[in-house]
Structure 1
Amino acid sequence: MTPSWDTFANELQNDLFVRITVSEVGLNDTVYRVSYLTLKHAAPELAKQVVDLDRYQYAFSGKELKLDYPKSPEVHIALYYIIHKELPSDLLSERDHEEIAIKCWCFGHQFKMAHFQNAVMRKVLLYLQSSNLSLDAIATAFKTLQQGSVMRRLLAEELVVGIRDRERSYGELKQFEGIGGFLTEFVKAMDEYDDDEIDTDKRLDDDRVGAYLV
């Protein structure tokens, strides 16, 4: 529910900063200071990690709430998106960014950051128009996400298209053995491909892209 203007004004008066520390062994920590109100509206599940503390006590004492994360590029990118409302321009500009992009979507999925997920998904769809994702990037999604997620469905399609276009082999599927639900999703994608329901050239069309968004 959208807050009324007076509720919003009260929230803003009592806002405080969340100190988010991204730690990397052997290097200096990266510290972000983000408005709690901004964090709450952009990533409510992430903000819930600090609500067990007395927000108002901290606000009036001048202290900060604190969240700690290990080294993870997706945290940096998610915070960049929260502040700038867009993704870094160089995401997916390099081959080794594929797995980072997938991890970003998974991070957004974990904390219910739908706008962030959709921004990443559009990047991935655009990337797939001219390139294939690495098997490691695809495996990351299947190992991290539960069966039925939009990203797993898209990547099952990609595996099928790659095999049918002879750019991948069935032998590569050994990497997915033991992953719950993989075979079901792969077979479904294969049936859809055979029924001409997968058109990789039209995924970003206005009437199609919604199928890959959350």
Structure 2
Amino acid sequence: MPGIQTAFVDIGQDKAGFLHISEIDRELAFDRLTEGEEGSKPKKRYEPMDISKILKEGETILVQVSKEPVYEKGAKLTTCFTLPGRFIVLMPNIPRIGVSKKIEDRDERNRLKDIVKNSLPEGMGAIIRTTSENRKNAEIDRDIKFLASIWEDINKKLATAEPRDMLHEDIPMTLRSVRDHLDDDVSEIIINDKEEQIKIYKFVKNI
């Protein structure tokens, strides 16, 4: 629908997902993804693209659910993919680097940018998370390699996938909370479920 710069996409759910131009246009997406972060900005004035010139009715595209369906609204979709890790968020198709503003030391910010720049596969970008501050090069490099391997696996599945197939699913919410918030300031995790406790224990050992 060109008027509202949105495409409705059949992803196999009751309601079609909706894909706005800001979730296709990589420059707009980078600005959205790095809101509250500091990233490299384009020097020239940027004009958003027209969705009707990018997508055609009936074509098959790879999308990521960025927000689950709510009531009568379908899922919010994006083609600007993100794969969150412990220290970075990998952006497989946006070759830009952003750094959390909570990392205030300029030397540390530059150090992290250099590590990520040298470790990223060609054509990829990343948002450097607060948890990466003062971490060893090898830890961040390992995080990047792990996330890049997930993207590689997604593309392998894509080669033989049928329309509406799910190619990747993020880890459960409890483990996401641990991944996103566990840092050196956390000394204890309390949980009231034995089964979840075991899962978290195994997960923490691996990260």
Same fold (TM over 0.5): no
Structure ranking higher in strand proportion: 2
Higher relative contact order (CA 8 A, sep 6+): 2
TM-score band, normalised by the shorter chain?
under 0.3
Structure ranking higher in helix proportion: 1
Structure with greater Cα Rg: 1
